[in-house]
C-alpha cells in the first residue's frame, strides 16, 4: 500500500512517516517506471529521505499548496503539461526556501547553466547515480556550492575535489571528448582521455582551456588501476574556462584553496537574489562586500548563504603597499575587524613580552596573559618538534583554546613572534581566523620596520 501511495502522489499518514530528521523529497516524473525506480532508490535509507512521488507538475503544485512539509523538489525537465523549469519557478513563488533539483536524460552545458540560473541546486543526468542522488537531496551545509566556474586549472579542481572527499575524482567534458581523473588523498593516480591513458591523458586534459566537470565517487574510482602519479596543488594558470560542481564543495574549501595556494583572485558569489564578493591578494583576504555590508560583516553574511554560484576570477598580484603608520595603528585596524574582542597582542617568542596589545576589559591584563601564553606556545613548538617539526605539519599552525565563555586563538607570526586573540564565545571563530591571517603580512611588515619594535 505504501508503494502505491508514493507512486500516486498521495500523502503519507503520521504512522507511515519516516523517522524524524529524514528529508521529505517530492519526486515529479511523468515516466511511471522512472518514478518508481527513483522512489525505491530514496527509500533504501529511510533515515535519510522520505520520498513522495507524483506524475505531473500540476500534481506537485497541488501538494505544495496544501502546506505539507516538503524539504526538496526533485523534478524531471520533461513533464506532461508544465515542464520542469516552469514548475521550478511556480514552486519558488509558493515556497521561496524550497531546495530544487532537476533531472534530464541528455544534459548540455547550456541546459545546465539555465537550470542553475533558474534557482535549482543541481542538474542530474539520467540514469541517476545513486550517490549523486542521495547527496543532491540531502540538506546543504552552510556555504554549499551549486556551481563553480571561472579561471580554474585542472589541478585546482583536483585539489578542491580532494578537500571534499579523500578518494574520488572528476569526470571531464571538453570539445574533444571526455576524460576522467582519479585521486587518492592528495595525489592523482589515474587519468584517461579518449585513447590516451596515464601521463599522456593527464597532459592532454591539463592543456584544455575550456571544460566542464563533476565529481566521481570513491566507489566509481575504486577499481581504477594506478597509471600515473602527480601531487595535487594549485595550478596557478590563467585563462582556463572551467565550470561544474563537486559533491560536498563549500565556500570554505575555496577560501582555504586561495590561502594555501597564495592566490590573487576574486570570488563573485551569488545566492538566489543576493550577491557578494570576496577578494584575495597573495593568499590573504583583502576585502568582502555585499549589497548592505563590507569587511568582516559582509564575509560573515556570505559564509552563511546556501545554494551558491561562484565565479572565480584571477588577477595579477598588486604591488605591495607601504605601511607608514606603525604597528600600533595596524593593531587598531585589526581590532576593528574583530567582533566580540576581549584582548589581543603580539608577543616576542624569546621572552614572552608583549610588543603591542589591546584589551576591551580593564580587568584583563594583556601582559600577564602574554607571559602565560608564551609557555603554551613553547610547549606546542616542542611537541611539533618531537613529531617531525615543520616538515611533518606544514607551515604555521593555529592553536585553539576554548572555555565556556571565550575562544583563544594563538598564531605564530614569523620566526620571532606570535599573535594571540581572545574573543567571546558568541564571536564567529572562522572570521577571527581569517582576520588573523589577512592581517599577518601587515603585522610582519610593522615588526620588520627599522623604526618599529624588533
- The CATH number for 74's domain is 3.40.50.2300
Q: Kindly state whether residues 203 and 172 are assigned to the same domain.
A: yes
Cα–Cα distances in angstroms (integers) from residue 53 to residues 12, 49, 265, in the given order: 11, 13, 44
Same domain, 292 and 342: no
The verdict on residue 39 lying in a domain is yes
Cα–Cα distance measured from residue 315 to residue 210, given in angstroms and rounded to the nearest whole number: 18
Same domain, 349 and 439: yes
Pairwise CA distance, residues 337 & 346, whole Å? 16
In a domain, 386, yes or no: yes
pTM of the model: 0.61
The four Cα atoms 58, 64, 68, 70 give a dihedral, to 10 degrees, of 110
Closest CA to 21 of 45, 52, 54, 53: 45
Give pLDDT, residue 72: 92
Separation of alpha carbons 373 and 12, rounded Å: 58
| Among candidate residues 314, 348, 378, the one where a domain is terminated | 314
Q: Which helix (H) or strand (E) holds 224?
A: none
**In this structure, are strands 308-314 and 145-150 parallel, antiparallel, or unpaired?**
parallel
Q: Is residue 49 part of a domain?
A: yes
Cell numbers 611539533: residue: 384
How many Å apart are CA 22 and CA 24, to the nearest integer? 6
| pLDDT for 278 | 92
49-54 and 187-193 as β-strands: parallel, antiparallel, unpaired? unpaired
| Consecutive H or E run containing 287 | strand 284-290
Place of cell 609557555: 375
Residues 155 and 292 in one domain: yes
Domain that holds residue 174: 145-314
Residues 6+ apart with CB under 8 A from 44: none
Whether 321 is in a domain gets the answer no
Question: Considering its fold, how many domains does the chain have in total?
Answer: 3
One domain, residues 261 and 340: no
**Do 127 and 62 have their domain in common?**
yes
Would you state the pLDDT for residue 390?
47
Residue 320 domain-assigned (yes or no):
no
Q: Give yes or no: residues 17 and 47 share one domain.
A: yes
* 408 is a domain residue: yes
Q: Based on the domain organization, do 238 and 370 belong to the same domain? A: no
Q: Are residues 71 and 158 in the same domain?
A: no
Is 453 part of a structural domain of the chain? Answer: no
- In DSSP terms, 52 is beta-bridged to 26
Write down the H helix ranges in 102-250.
Answer: 109-117, 130-137, 154-164, 198-206, 218-221
292 in the same domain as 366: no
In this predicted structure, what is the pLDDT of residue 448? 67
| Final residue before a domain boundary, out of 283, 314, 345 | 314
How far apart are alpha carbons 107 and 167 in whole angstroms? 26
Residues in a beta bridge with 35: none
310, 388: one domain: no
Provide the CATH number for the domain around residue 341. 3.30.450.30
Domain-located, residue 319: no
Tell me how far apart the terminal alpha carbons of the chain are, to the nearest angstrom.
Answer: 78
Please identify every stretch of the chain with a pLDDT value under 50, giving residue numbers as ranges. Answer: 1-19, 238, 317-325, 390-396, 450, 454
pLDDT at 359: 83
* Residue after which a domain boundary falls, among 81, 115, 137: 137
Sequence length of the chain is 454
- Please choose, from the candidates 188, 253, 241, 255, the residue with its C-alpha nearest in 3D space to the C-alpha of residue 213: 241
Within 13 Å and on the Cβ side, how many CA atoms surround 340? 17
Same domain, 50 and 101: yes
pLDDT of 232 reads: 79
Amino acid at each position: 500500500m505504501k508503494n502505491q501511495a508514493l507512486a500516486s502522489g498521495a500523502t503519507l499518514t503520521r504512522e507511515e512517516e519516516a523517522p524524524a530528521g529524514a528529508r521529505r523529497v517530492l519526486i515529479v516524473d511523468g515516466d511511471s517506471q522512472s518514478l518508481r525506480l527513483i522512489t525505491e532508490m530514496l527509500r533504501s535509507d529511510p533515515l535519510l529521505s522520505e520520498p513522495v512521488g507524483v506524475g505531473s507538475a500540476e500534481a506537485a503544485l497541488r501538494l505544495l499548496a496544501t502546506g505539507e512539509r516538503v524539504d526538496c523538489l526533485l523534478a524531471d525537465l520533461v513533464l506532461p503539461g508544465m515542464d520542469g523549469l516552469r514548475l521550478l519557478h511556480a514552486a519558488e513563488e509558493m515556497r521561496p526556501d524550497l531546495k530544487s533539483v532537476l533531472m534530464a536524460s541528455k544534459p548540455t552545458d547550456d541546459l545546465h547553466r539555465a537550470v542553475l540560473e533558474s534557482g535549482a541546486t543541481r542538474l542530474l543526468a539520467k540514469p541517476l547515480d545513486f550517490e549523486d542522488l542521495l547527496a543532491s537531496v540531502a540538506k546543504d551545509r552552510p556555504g554549499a556550492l551549486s556551481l563553480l566556474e571561472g579561471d580554474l586549472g585542472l589541478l585546482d579542481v583536483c585539489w578542491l575535489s580532494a578537500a571534499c572527499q579523500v578518494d574520488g575524482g572528476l569526470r571531464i567534458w571538453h570539445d574533444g571528448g571526455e576524460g576522467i581523473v582519479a585521486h587518492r588523498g592528495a595525489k592523482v593516480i589515474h587519468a584517461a582521455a579518449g585513447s590516451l591513458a596515464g601521463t599522456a591523458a593527464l597532459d592532454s586534459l591539463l592543456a584544455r582551456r575550456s571544460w566542464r566537470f563533476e565529481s566521481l565517487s570513491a566507489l566509481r574510482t575504486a577499481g581504477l588501476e594506478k597509471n600515473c602519479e602527480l601531487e595535487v596543488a594549485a595550478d596557478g594558470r590563467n585563462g582556463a574556462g572551467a565550470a561544474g560542481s563537486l559533491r560536498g564543495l563549500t565556500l570554505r574549501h575555496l577560501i582555504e584553496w586561495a590561502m594555501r595556494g597564495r592566490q590573487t583572485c576574486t570570488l563573485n558569489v551569488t545566492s538566489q537574489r543576493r550577491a557578494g564578493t570576496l577578494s584575495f591578494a597573495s593568499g590573504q583576504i583583502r576585502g568582502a562586500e555585499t549589497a548592505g555590508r563590507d569587511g568582516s560583516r559582509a564575509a560573515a553574511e556570505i559564509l552563511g548563504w546556501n545554494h551558491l554560484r561562484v565565479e572565480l576570477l584571477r588577477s595579477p598580484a598588486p604591488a605591495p603597499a607601504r605601511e607608514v603608520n606603525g604597528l600600533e595603528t595596524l593593531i587598531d585596524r585589526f581590532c576593528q575587524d574583530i567582533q566580540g574582542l576581549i584582548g589581543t597582542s603580539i608577543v616576542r617568542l624569546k621572552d614572552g613580552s608583549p610588543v603591542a596589545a589591546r584589551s576591551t576589559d580593564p580587568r584583563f591584563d594583556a601582559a600577564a596573559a602574554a607571559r602565560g601564553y608564551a609557555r603554551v606556545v613553547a610547549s606546542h613548538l616542542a611537541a611539533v618538534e618531537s613529531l617531525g617539526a615543520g616538515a611533518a605539519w606544514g607551515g604555521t599552525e593555529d592553536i585553539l583554546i576554548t572555555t565556556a565563555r571565550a575562544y583563544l586563538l594563538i598564531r605564530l607570526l614569523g620566526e620571532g613572534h606570535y599573535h594571540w586573540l581572545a574573543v567571546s564565545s558568541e564571536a564567529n571563530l572562522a572570521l577571527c581566523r581569517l582576520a588573523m591571517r589577512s592581517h599577518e603580512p601587515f603585522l610582519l611588515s610593522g615588526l620588520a620596520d627599522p623604526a618599529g619594535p624588533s
